[in-house]
């Protein structure tokens, strides 16, 4: 599908979605609550068939967190970026997509570890890199600890 067709089809599913075409891939920006139903459609519908989640990460924009999912379809060879906006930065949470793409399990553990985003219905949410009693989430912009050197 071309970007225009993708846009048209996603708007039918989710009228509240915003689009950003400034970067290389078509980017869909959605509220975090709408993530799971949209992702399920993107995976299961034959004309989307996004079977390969090749990058899952998070960006801290200080007033909100943005989950970023890069998706590719091996059959149709089209790419899309889904960004889910989490407005609650104190207690951020979002649905896990582990049931759709299995690669999400460890990637979500990593985001939980470094950003503190809690993934609902994740089979084994744990701190992947840091110790279990580590205070704070290092990739958050407001993170500080006594070992950090101010440049």
Q: Which of 12, 24, 133, 145 binds other proteins (CB under 8 A)?
A: 24
Q: Does 27 bind other proteins (CB under 8 A)?
A: yes
Q: Which of 8, 18, 19, 54 binds other proteins (CB under 8 A)?
A: 54
Nearest CB to other proteins, comparing residues 6 and 12: 6
Rounded Cα distance, 62 and 65, in Å: 7
Q: Does 70 bind other proteins (CB under 8 A)?
A: yes
Binding site for other proteins (CB under 8 A): 22-25, 27, 51-55, 57, 59-60, 68, 70, 74, 77, 81, 101-103, 105-107, 110, 114, 124, 127-131, 138-139, 151
């Amino acid at each position: 599908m071309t970007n225009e067709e993708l846009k048209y089809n996603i708007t039918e599913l989710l009228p509240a979605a915003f689009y950003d075409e400034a970067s290389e891939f078509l980017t869909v920006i959605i509220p975090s609550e709408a993530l799971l139903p949209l992702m399920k459609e993107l995976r299961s519908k034959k004309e989307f068939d996004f079977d390969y989640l090749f990058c899952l990460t998070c960006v801290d924009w200080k007033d909100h967190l943005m989950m970023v999912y890069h998706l590719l379809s091996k059959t149709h060879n089209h790419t899309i970026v889904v960004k889910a906006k989490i407005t609650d930065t104190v207690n951020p949470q979002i649905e896990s997509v582990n049931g759709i793409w299995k690669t999400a399990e460890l990637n979500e553990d990593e985001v939980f570890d470094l950003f503190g985003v809690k993934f609902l219905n994740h089979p084994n949410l744990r701190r992947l890199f840091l110790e279990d009693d580590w205070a704070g989430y290092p990739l958050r912009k407001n993170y500080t600890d006594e070992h950090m050197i101010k440049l």
